[in-house]
Structure 1
Amino acid sequence: MRPGSGISLSFVAEQRIRQLEQKLRAKEERIIVLETENAFLHLKLAEIQRTSWAVSAEESDSHYASYKEINFHESIKSILIQIYGAIQRLKRDMKDLRLSALQFSRDIQHQGKSFFYQILTAVQKLQLHNEVMQTFQTKALELEQSLHEVSERYQKEKQRRKVLHNSLVELKGNIRVHCRIRPLLPFDMAPGEPAFEDRQRNFSEKVVYAADDETVIVKCSRSGHALTNKMFQYERVYNASDSQGTVFADVSPLLTSLLDGYNVCIMAYGQTGSGKTYTMLGPQSEDTCTFPVEDDLEFGIIPRATEEVFRLLSEKSPGSHWVEVSVVEVYNNDVFDLLAKDNSGRTSGIKRDIITNKEGKSEIPLLTYESVGDAVEFLELVNKGLQLRVKHPTLVHAHSSRSHLVVTLCITTVAVSMDHFGAQWAGSQKLTKEHFLSSPYAGKDDMASFPSRASSPALFGSEPMEKLKRVRTRLQLVDLAGSECAGMSGVTGPILRETSFINRSLSALADVLGAISEQRSHVPYRNSKLTHLLQDSIGGDAKLLLVLCVSPSQKYLTESLQTLSFGSRARQVHRGQAKKRNQPLQSKSK
């Protein structure tokens, strides 16, 4: 019996006892009244008897009076007998009632003791449970604290592992591969499905998702086969909720390497509509196909990287560097200069050729390089180039890019080595691009040095000698055109020809990576203008980051698997350690 029910029965018993006690008091009061009446009647009877005796003495001769007195006495006697009988019955009732109340009281006491012992047992068990619960809570707190400590150690070890892994990747010259999974979008809806807004966007709709920040899992299902999961590992994986800033945070360390003297290339790869242009540039205006300069929160890698480069350059001494920008596109296996101007001074895409110079590096003769002083000038130039970029609508994407976009940011730094007299002069002078290029000692190489003696004694003494060294580093930012299936994109005619060139150039890129990975003697860079243009970044000494962009939709499962497999192959490429462009200065004197 529960403690709660015991308390209820005790309360009922107490109520019943109170009712019986009230009845008992009422009976006792009735008995007292009857006894009082009885005594009163006895007194009245005695008085009547005395009166009767007096009357009988005076009226002994009256036979009728005697007969009447006898009848009166008999009546009184009958009444007294009835009262006595009622009193006896009341006494018996009171005795029975007292016995019942006593028995009921004993029962209540017995039940009360039973309930008390049950309540006491329940309280003891509750106390025991509380002690056990406190023990569990103490252990839980200890485990939680231990888990927190383990998590902190895990995060530290994970960070340390990442640092070691990145160091290993850099030593091997591996291509860093990041993967970004975009959200589900309206055009992911298959024909016949309900409106996208009415669909429940739950986890089961996605077949590609991030298991953690380094792992991608793909749910692969085929008719008649069990569901299988494929797993892909990369240096970094971003899910649909990760912002542009989160993506760039893992890119920015490469920009420090850029200013430390390393060439850097960042490339976005994926199918049409997978988010490559959004990742590299940000959201684009539908009417002008440019990105809004004011919406900096949605900026992609290209504008953010430029802002970071100019921020880092602002920390260096003024006049020791200059920045130039070129924008080209590879369309239908031809290279077009998107910053070149025609005879009337208007910007127009001019076709250029790619050659391999004496050092074995690819270059584009007559390619337009525009000098920029800040990120705003850079964004204006890139927007001019984007307006000329070829775009056509397809069933997959309303503004599908039909060309590979390559934005190159070149930083030229001039360093001066001299004795203490020349150092005093250098601290008060600013070197400009024209100052260096006007020198007859400035060669065409990425690095050149020349001795010179001041022609004016006001600037130099008779002994100081200087050595100028030009270091040219290059940041290539590549937004590749998307691979696509002609049947799914619904393209025909000239656009179908564009699709063919896009897929062939991407296939050539895969062939180049395969040849490098297998360490073949011949790498087919010239099978495509795209791979020829990016030869120095893919197989040279640049630090290369490949950003895979994939859709989570079942509709594009085949294309997503192809992209992820391409990234896995790219991770296996060992190109050797990246080379630093600026070598230590060697002083010379005459």
Structure 2
Amino acid sequence: MVTKNQNRPPLSLTSTPPPPSNSKNFEGDVLLLDNKEQRVGAEKMVGTPINGRTRQAFTVVNGGVHDLGPSSAPPSNAGSDYGVIEFTREDVEALLSEKAKRKDRFNYKERCENMMDYIKRLKVCIRWFQDLEMYYSLEQEKLKNSLELTQQKCIEIELLLKIKEEELNSIISEMRRNCTSLQEKLIKEETEKSAAAESLVKEREARLDIERSHSTLSEDLGRAQRDMQSANQKIASLNEMYKRLQDYITSLQQYNGKLHSELSSVEDELKRVEKEKATIVENITMLRGQLTISVSSQEEAIKQKDVLATEVSSLRGELQQVRDERDRQLSQVQTLSSELEKVKESKKHSSTELDSLTLKANDLEEKCSLKDNQIKALEEQLATAEKKLQVSNISAYETRTEYEGQQKFVNELQRRLADAEYKLIEGERLRKKLHNTILELKGNIRVFCRVRPLLADESCSTEGKIFSYPTSMETSGRAIDLAQNGQKHSFTFDKVFTPEASQEEVFLEISQLVQSALDGYKVCIFAYGQTGSGKTYTMMGRPGHPEEKGLIPRSLEQIFQTKQSQQPQGWKYEMQVSMLEIYNETIRDLISTTTRMENGTPGKQYTIKHDANGNTQVSDLTVVDVHSAKEVAFLLNQAANSRSVGKTQMNEQSSRSHFVFTLRIYGVNESTDQQVQGVLNLIDLAGSERLSKSGSTGDRLKETQAINKSLSSLSDVIFALAKKEDHVPFRNSKLTYLLQPCLGGDSKTLMFVNISPDPSSIGESLCSLRFASRVNACEIGTPRRQTNGRSIESRLSYF
């Protein structure tokens, strides 16, 4: 799965919120700025004191920029609407992290005017960054020029150094020659001794001067190299700042129209691919029919060829018989001729015998002529049959060639069909990604529906299937139909899992949401449904079966794997786990080693509190530092053993309390000093049930009443959020008060609605689906990334 944050703008300097959209898309998608905050932001933009100091704006003369030294700040002419402006990092962070306060959410005109003013101030900031970019490019060119001059000076110094060394070597060799000559002439020329000594002293002084100049040149060379290194470091830092500013400006310019253009292009591509798929299926059907016809015609031609071959063989046999008959007749004619000669020679026979013999001879000659005609006709038939055989061979070869061509064409169409199906799958993935991004921008609670398989004692029902899943392009994988008393009820959610869906397929759909917790967001996933519908199986899985692990173990494995993979990038994470349950409107600590529930009375009283930042904390709750998934698995096993579970007529292992698992994540990037603070809340709600079906009595009756009361309070909260009422009754139960940041804050929230396929539970299933539809329509606000540092206060469980 691709991530959900790919279409968001990159962070600038520290962290920045997404840029505002065009004014056409303001309604319902942007926050309304308070008038007081607008005045304060405008005063900061025009140079009012910030943090107790006053900034001086740069001077712009006739639209030109003066040449400034390396330590001077760049001039700016970005304040066309607010005067001459200078921005510091604090100003940019204050502008980008400005948070709006809603007074009248339906006053769209005032919201548009406030947002236009905010866009103007943001444009001023962008222009100032463009001027700063131009200034840094000029500084970069100056530093490059100075670097080139320094390199040239270094090259010249090296050349001079080599020349001096050569001169010094030549002088030394010359001195040695002079010394030898002087030693040889010392005895002969004593008068020249003083002059030679003076010249030797002068040469030594010259050598010392050369050595001193060499040392000074070496020091100059080292100094130049250090200056070069510092200049390279400055250039690298300026290049990095330039790239970051350029990427940020480009992302700001492209972000406004990116989502809508991608969404429209993907929809067009999906429609085109669907049409192409239909035409390809029609072509394949037609080609298959043609292929069948060609195959049948080829088989007929082969059969005709075999018939003609047998006929030719029979004709050849008849021809051979006729030839044998002809030879026999010729032999008879010869015999009769010899006999006739004998008769003529003897002349003893009568003329009647001679006439009869003559007649016989004439008959035989006529028979021979007829046989010759028959032989010619048979030879003609044989030639015609051979021609037909050749024609049939040619037609069979043409049919085979055409069959091979059709087979290649069919293979090509199948390949194109596979490509189209792959494109269709990719387009569906992109559509899901864009759909999730739009839901995050809207701030809706995402809802996944999961239908569990029928159990062994339920499969014998004769009422048939009550659920169906539409397969159209628009609703495939997102819709479910429920049939009750001949009436069909249709529902559409963000994702619908059929009974055949595995635990791994379910987790793949929420893996990106779990990743958001590591990115610094508050994430909440909770399972809702009647008792026995598979909520605990979805969240925890089946113990002892690794392939059926639930969302909580798989989420922890993914988080610790990602933590390990991000260590080379400089990220270090600290993680804390807490687990509690709400049993009979009382909070219990499931991993505490000292507190236990005895006789229904808790040893400690836990209170829920909200701070000014929208965080929720549970006092005195046990928080454990964890470093691996095995440690968390051990704590989960301990919590499972401590959780309240009971047997009812509807479920032998029914959860009698709401289970809340919280993972607190602190992340620090040592290379960029960036800090993130995320929270992952995974909640397994107790199942709703009817007293008439559950048969609860005593403690089970009290538990059922408490569960139904808290779920009813959750329903009241959802109704109030869906109607956008001013007052939302979060305090009606411990569950809703604990879930307040997830349902009414800046959290990424997802609800699993678990459905039982048992026909006897059709009423509860319909109520659960209707409740899930209302939850899916609730807008709770846009998620906000937590980048503040870790608090030094005592450990508390935050939501």
| TM-score, L = length of structure 2 | 0.51
Mark the CA change 1:329 to 1:256 in structure 2 (over 3 Å): closer, same or farther.
Answer: same
Structure 2 partner of 1:251:
510
Query: In the superposition, relative to structure 1, how do residues 569 and 219 fare at CA in structure 2: closer, same or farther (>3 Å)?
Result: closer
SS at structure 1 position matched to 2:516? helix
Corresponding position of 2:456:
186
Secondary structure of 2:752's aligned partner: strand
Alpha carbons of 1:366 and 1:84: their partners in 2 closer, same or farther (altered >3 Å)? Answer: farther
Shift of 1:568: 2.6
| Structure 1 residue 232 corresponds to structure 2 residue 492 | yes
Match of 1:207 among 464, 467, 472: 467
**Match of 2:579?**
327
Q: Tell me which moved more, 154-163 or 140-149.
A: 140-149
Question: Does the CA contact (< 8 Å) of 2:447 and 2:752 recur in 1?
Answer: yes
Query: Equivalent residue for 2:728?
Result: 523
Q: Give the match for residue 355 of structure 1.
A: 608
CA contact (8 A) 1:232 1:564 kept: no
Q: Which amino acid aligns with 1:576?
A: G
State the 1:416 CA deviation.
Answer: 9.5
Q: Secondary structure at the match of 2:582?
A: strand
Displacement of 1:417 in angstroms is 12
**Aligned mates of 1:517, 1:170 — CA distance in 2:** 17
Question: Comparing both chains, which one has the higher relative contact order based on Cα–Cα distances under 8 Å and sequence gaps of 6 or more?
Answer: 1
Q: Name the larger-Rg structure.
A: 1
Report deviation, 1:105: 5.3
Question: What residue in structure 2 maps to residue 378 of structure 1?
Answer: 632
CA–CA separation in structure 1 for the residues paired with 2:588 and 2:688: 20
Q: Which amino acid aligns with 1:385?
A: A
1:17 partnered with 2:279:
no
The aligned residue for residue 257 of structure 2 is none
Tell me the CA shift for residue 239 of structure 1. Answer: 4.0
Give the 5 Å matches for 1:100-115.
102-103=373-374, 106=377, 109=380, 113=384
* Residue from 400, 405, 421 that aligns with 2:654: 400
Q: Deviations over 1:299-348 (max 9, x none)?
A: 221112222333344445999654322222223333322223347999x9
Partner of 1:546: 751
Q: 1:172 aligns with which of 417, 442, 445?
A: 442
Give the distance between the partners of 1:94 and 1:491, measured in 2 at CA.
Answer: 121
Establish whether residue 573 from structure 1 lines up as the match of residue 573 from structure 2.
Answer: no
* 1:230 partner letter: S
Cα 1:139–1:551 change in 2 (3 A) is farther
Q: Is the 8 A contact 1:208 1:216 kept in 2?
A: no
Q: Which 5+ residue runs of structure 1 have no aligned equivalent?
A: 47-72, 194-203, 284-290, 424-468, 586-590
CA distance in 2, matches of 1:86, 1:552: 109
Report the alpha carbon displacement of residue 243 of structure 1 after superposing the two structures with TM. 3.5
SS at match of 1:514: helix
Name 1:366's counterpart in structure 2. 620
Change in 2 beyond 3 A, CA 1:219/1:577: closer
| Amino acid aligned to 1:233 | F
- Partner Cα distance (1:219, 1:29) in 2: 98
Q: CA deviation at 1:509?
A: 2.0
Q: How far apart, in 1, do the equivalents of 2:432 and 2:746 lie?
A: 22
Are residue 409 (structure 1) and residue 679 (structure 2) matched? no
SS of the counterpart of 2:785?
coil
Deviates more, 1:322-331 or 1:390-399: 390-399
* % identity of equivalent residues: 31
User: 1:32 maps to which residue?
Assistant: 334
Partners of 1:158 and 1:550 lie apart in 2 by 25
The structure in which a higher percent of residues are helix is 2
Q: 2:590 aligns with which of 310, 335, 338?
A: 338
Q: Give the C-alpha shift of residue 24 in structure 1.
A: 2.8
- The structure-2 alpha-carbon separation of the partners of 1:500 and 1:192, relative to structure 1 and needing over 3 Å to count, comes to farther
1:299 to 539, 544, 549: 549
Taking the aligned partners of 1:24 and 1:33, their CA distance within structure 2 comes to: 14
User: Which region of structure 1 is more displaced relative to structure 2, 513-522 or 494-503?
Assistant: 494-503
CA RMSD of superposed structures (Å): 4.5
More off after superposition, 107-116 vs 381-390? 107-116
- Give the Cα separation in 1 of the matches to 2:482 and 2:339: 107
Tell me the distance in 2 between the aligned counterparts of 1:495 and 1:33.
128
Task: Give structure 2 stretches of 5+ with no counterpart.
Answer: 1-299, 791-799
Give the TM-score of the pair, scaled to structure 1. Answer: 0.67
Q: Distance in 2 between matches of 1:394 and 1:252?
A: 34
Distance 1:141 1:331 in 2: 63
Aligned mates of 1:82, 1:108 — CA distance in 2: 38
SS at match of 1:520: coil
Match of 1:458 in 2: none
Q: Quote the Cα distance in structure 1 between the aligned partners of 2:329 and 2:604.
A: 126
Q: CA deviation at 1:478?
A: 0.8
Q: How far 1:477 moved relative to its partner?
A: 0.8
Q: Say if 2:340 and 2:357, in contact at 8 Å, map to a contact too.
A: no
What are the within-5 Å matches in structure 2 for residues 77-96 of structure 1? 77=349, 85=356, 88-89=359-360, 92=363, 95-96=366-367
